[in-house]
Chains A and B, each alone.
Chain A
């Protein structure tokens, strides 16, 4: 019951503050620009070559639906990650620094409820934004690339959603562990740099969360086995569970 009250407050806060603009606007931009850019970038490139008058023979392959997904996932992996960090890095830090956590935690609210309400509230909001913008992306992609295989397309979008969820879980953990917004954001950024580096190391790359976006794209090009899915999805789920569990463990021991 108390968790529900807190989640409701989270939503009110999102709708009454700048959070309601930042995440949807950036995700909407990514959703619309990715298929458009994928469709027209070869034409743009040809026009640029002609305009500069250079005699270069470049064979530009015709655009394909997969380019739309490549653009989308690349943008989510960079711009999307940064905006999730920026929007949610203060999730717990703000409550601690402004003193609102002190008032709430003396009202019979468990520390677990408090952290979970933050995580669930942010998850619901991010998922809503992700679903709506994915729908817009799907419409644009369908219009521009009518032969898109949507069964695999939606599976790929689901895999990337899980990656975003992991970003959120780590950001909430960083916000619990740190005392300032900047420290929380930097700590989160360093964590993802770490994941990215792990994702570039041959042999282990396939087993890390950093492989999730590659996995989503591989859905369209290769026949994948259970093991191909299981490792990155499994490790991503583990990171989510461990992040939330450690956030709960740490917050229960913090003093205000």
Chain B
């Protein structure tokens, strides 16, 4: 069963279409990374999924049950952490979690036990000062705890690490990692390395449209080779660049110095046939030829820039 499904989900702000006919199906139990450049529509999508923004068109379903703007029952299915979570600065972490739990009508004993577990999970067991004195990292970790207080089946996190220092980032990513298999985690980010570290599947959003949705390994397989790297004599670089510049298969050329060139391509096979020919015609000796494997970042840039 799909934990989350959207059908033709659309949100417009005036004439601007922030999310355009988004169709996604998210099976239960995995960690999903939702990436896209700034303004791609990630936050708008998450806010629609949480009922904070009303879609112009489309449907949202959680476990095959439709979720509409203003539907309160379905809100217990998920927990949500916004990019900058707001807390009552005068409260202490336990108090805030207790308040959050009471809003879900959780029975007192169960709630107290859950609070202890959650504070341990997010590493705030010893923190008993007012939330107003917390660092951003601590607030983010408390934010995850409040989103999990009712033991939701789905956890939505909007850029949970974007404002954190490297230590805070690692701490939050560790918490997300611990949720694997227990909760369906759907988090947006623009930090590719975090996606590669914890996510099972990746969704790439660009200009409000879903460009790609697949397992991390499959995505890399779709674009296995990112570029061709060749090494020739430094003196031959100009002649070679001039010769290949007319080739139709060529994408962009990056001169890495000392005779090393990184050749982007539109057609790998054509490039593999053409390069030795160009080298032979010009009498240029090849020192080295290598196929550069794609990272998720390369794929992301390729998809977003439609290279």
Contacts and interface: CB of A to CB of B under 8 A. Distances in A.
A47 B88 CA distance: 53
A13 interface: yes
Given A13-B90, A256-B47, A256-B52, A103 B75 contact: no
Nearest to A100: B86
Q: How large is the interface on B (under 10, 10 to 19, 20 to 34, 35 or more residues)?
A: 20 to 34
Contact of B86 (A13, A102, A255): A102
Given A98-B87, A105-B52, A109-B72, 20 more contacts: A17-B90, A98-B86, A99-B86, A102-B80, A102-B82, A102-B86, A103-B85, A103-B87, A103-B100, A103-B146, A104-B103, A105-B51, A106-B51, A106-B75, A106-B80, A108-B104, A252-B70, A255-B47, A255-B54, A256-B53
Interface string A1-42: 110011001001100110000000000000000000000000
Nearest to A109: B103
Interface string A106-147: 111111000000000000000000000000000000000000
A106 B90 contact: no
B155 to A, nearest CB: 11
Interface in B63-84: 70, 72-73, 75-76, 78-80, 82, 84
A100 B84 contact: no
16 contacts: A2-B103, A6-B103, A9-B88, A13-B90, A17-B90, A99-B86, A103-B85, A103-B146, A105-B51, A105-B52, A106-B50, A107-B150, A108-B104, A110-B72, A252-B70, A255-B47
B52 A13 contact: no
Interface of B: 47, 50-54, 70, 72-73, 75-76, 78-80, 82, 84-88, 90-91, 99-100, 102-105, 146, 150
Range of interface residues on chain A?
20 to 34
Contacts of B102: 5
Interface in A169-212: none
A125 to B, nearest CB: 16
A157 to B, nearest CB: 33
A99 B82 CA distance: 8
Contact of A107 (B75, B86, B90): B75
A13 B88 contact: yes
Q: Which residue among A2, A17, A105, A107 has the maximum number of chain B CB atoms within 10 Å of its CB?
A: A107
